[in-house]
Amino acid sequence: MNLAEDPGVRYYVAVDGGMSDNPRPQLYDSVYSAMVANRAGQPRDRVVTVAGKHCETDLLIHDIALGDTDMGDILAVQTTGAYNHAMASNYNRFMRPSVVFVQNGEADIVYARETLEDLVRQDRLPARLAKEESGSDR
């Protein structure tokens, strides 16, 4: 199997994660392995770069053989390091994903996906600004 790229051609797979929930590739040049979980048995015959959802250089995995992908597929990154979740943030006001431990065919959610309510719970609008916003100061 020849996984070399065609000169001048690069394929990207965009995912709904990124540097807010996995900053290690940008900070430490961390390298991960991954697979398309719902197509685990397919040939991994296409080299792609996995890109995140942020506008900066949000590249998570460079040059990985994945095979065909389609919208709605599940990209499984088997191990991301002990500090990945601890380093996650709400960068660009994105909510952090759930954390799932999988072993011997059993999956357990150990950190629930954040909601918009979780994200804005600490936000406060000062009364003077609320007053200005309503137009009552004019």
At 9 the pLDDT is: 84
What type of residue sits at position 100? V
- Do residues 58 and 19 make contact, with C-beta atoms less than 8 angstroms apart? yes
Query: Is-above-0.85 flag for pTM?
Result: no
E strand or H helix that includes residue 103: strand 99-103
E strand or H helix that includes residue 46: none
pLDDT tens digits, 18-35: 999 989 988 888 899 999
At 1 the pLDDT is: 44
Higher pLDDT, 28 or 4: 28
Q: Is 55 a known active-site residue?
A: yes
State the number of CA atoms in the 13 A half-sphere of 60 facing the CB.
26
Q: Which of 1, 4, 55, 86 is catalytic?
A: 55
pLDDT tens digits, 55-69: 877 899 999 999 889
CATH hierarchy code of domain 11-133: 2.40.37.10
- Do residues 61 and 32 make contact, with C-beta atoms less than 8 angstroms apart? yes
How distant, in Å, are the alpha carbons of 4, 41, 85, 119, 136 from that of 111? 39, 29, 10, 15, 43
pLDDT tens digits, 95-131: 999 888 889 999 999 999 999 999 999 999 999 998 8
